[in-house]
């Protein structure tokens, strides 16, 4: 009996936490990332000769 109660209690608390997280308004809004001042990556500029 105690085992079933503890499992139901923990699952119920997790369900409440998920329910509250799903209905937060700030989860639907994300600011775009700021562009890098100097881009990095594997892209090779076509204006420079190959090394």
Task: Report pLDDT digits (tens) over 5-47.
Answer: 999 999 999 999 999 999 988 877 778 888 878 777 776 565 6
Q: CA–CA separation, 44 vs 8, rounded Å?
A: 58
**pLDDT in the model for residue 50:** 54
49: pLDDT strictly greater than 80: no
Is the whole-model pTM more than 0.85? Answer: no
- CA 39 to centroid of chain Cα atoms: 24
Residue 2 has pLDDT above 70, yes or no: yes
Residue 35 has what pLDDT? 84
First-to-final CA distance of the chain: 74
Q: Domain map of the chain by residue range?
A: 1-25
């Amino acid at each position: 009996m105690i085992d079933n109660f503890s499992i139901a209690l923990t699952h119920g608390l997790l369900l409440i936490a998920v329910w509250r997280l799903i209905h937060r308004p700030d989860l639907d809004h994300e600011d775009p990332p700021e562009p890098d001042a100097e881009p990095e990556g594997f892209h090779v500029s076509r204006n420079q000769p190959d090394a």
